[in-house]
Structure 1
Amino acid sequence: MTRDGGHIDRRAARVLLLDPAGRVLMLHGWDPARPSHTYWFTVGGGVEPGESLLDAAVREAFEETGLRFDPAALEGPVRTDTVTFPFDGAWYSQEQSFFVARALETVIDLSRLNEVEQGCIDEARWWSAADLDATDERFYPPDLPSLLRSLLPSPLPSPSPLPEVA
């Protein structure tokens, strides 16, 4: 991570944590500099010096949920992009890679959040793509419903009717 005045460049690992029903875990938070700007976002965060993206994904998943994953169990990255956003009075340019982790356990423990996170994250919730499509609440990334659908198995097509035998 480098900081230039009010601008911070960083690399991040995000985790699309899916439950057995294909719902993604989202955390609810806000920008400390703009407390009324609330939003839902995926698990994950900045890569620490000397840490691989995969190791950062595993660490962040544990810190933000209490769930432990074997790095070999994560899929991806399934997407990498760069976003620019304000947070706590600074502008971030974040290159982020998304991994998929599949959770059998759906009870989330937020007790390991760091001090900054404790001050601006208040809830965790499992969301389906349909839930995200239907909500008026802000969430990131904004195209998450289509990303989720691309990761989930397609429903089986309806069987074709058998031809009639004369």
Structure 2
Amino acid sequence: MSAEQPGELPGELRKVARVILLDPDDRVLLLHGFEPAGPERTWWFTPGGGVEAGESREEAALREVQEETGLVGVELGPLLWTRLCSFPFDGRRWNQDEWYFLARTTRTETSLDGLTSLEQRSVAGLRWWTSAELSAARETVYPTRLAELLRTLLDEGPPAAPVVLAPEIV
């Protein structure tokens, strides 16, 4: 992309795989995060993280789910959405190219035992959300349109081609 194209972020983009993880009741799993230096600022977000060297986005998605939730045997589905985002966190700016995959699990018991040291300092817990709970939430959730996107996904199924979401710059 050229510097004039809308949605481009400055600097190198971190490749990220995120997961819309649904249980048998179509609840979505979200992690509760906070800024390590300012724990009063909180938000909810989907499991996922950076792609490691030699790893595909699909492999990264499954690895991140296992590390962040303790869930194994997750069935990875299609790529749903992509987005560019940029946000301050832990003293630096993160510029990311995020891909959101659909995944399903039959297990709902989770564990935070596999979190990295940074995640241990910035994740307060996780919970399963129904679509109605997510729509009624007054807390910050990323991506910010997740309630609407989830409702469309549950009503219509996965899109025929990945949807490009508007960039989010915080």
The alignment's TM-score, normalised by the length of structure 1, stands at 0.83
Structure 1 residue 153, shift from structure 2 partner: 4.2
Residue 13 of structure 1 corresponds to which residue in structure 2? 17
Gaps of 5+ in 1: 1-6, 155-166
Q: Report the secondary structure of 1:74's partner residue.
A: strand
TM-score by length of 2: 0.81
Query: Residue 106 of structure 1: SS of its match in structure 2?
Result: coil
- Give me the CA root mean square deviation: 1.5
Larger Rg: 1
Query: Could you tell me the percent identity over the aligned residues?
Result: 47
Q: Check if 1:56 corresponds to 2:80.
A: no
Return the alpha-carbon distance in structure 2 between the equivalents of residues 88 and 69 of structure 1.
32
How far off is 1:8 after superposition?
A: 6.0
Paired letter, 2:104? R
1:33-112 → structure 2 map (5 Å cutoff): 33-69=37-73, 73-112=75-114
Q: Aligned residue for 2:131?
A: 129
**Could you tell me which amino acid in structure 2 is paired with residue 35 of structure 1?**
P
- 1:77-122: CA deviations, max 9, x gaps? 1111101111111111100000111111000011111111011111
Partner secondary structure for residue 108 of structure 2: coil
Secondary structure of 2:46 counterpart: strand
Structure 1 residue aligned with 2:148, among 146, 149, 152?
A: 146
Question: 1:106/1:139 Cα in 2 relative to 1: closer, same or farther (>3 Å)?
Answer: same
Q: Distance in 2 between matches of 1:141 and 1:33?
A: 22
Q: How far apart are the structure 1 equivalents of 2:19 and 2:51?
A: 13
C-alpha separation between the residues in 1 aligned to 2:73 and 2:93? 31
The residue type equivalent to 2:67 in the other structure is: E
Give the counterpart letter for 1:100 in structure 2.
Answer: L
Work out the number of aligned pairs and report it: 146
> Which deviates further from its counterpart, 30-39 or 114-123?
30-39
**Secondary structure in 2 matching 1:94:** strand
Corresponding residue for 1:113?
115
Partner of 1:159 in structure 2? none
Structure 2 gap ranges (5+)? 1-10, 157-170
Cα distance in structure 1, aligned partners of 2:79 and 2:37 = 31
For 1:112 and 1:29, locate their aligned partners in 2 and report how far apart those are by CA, in whole Å. Answer: 15
1:8/1:92 contact within 8 Å kept: no
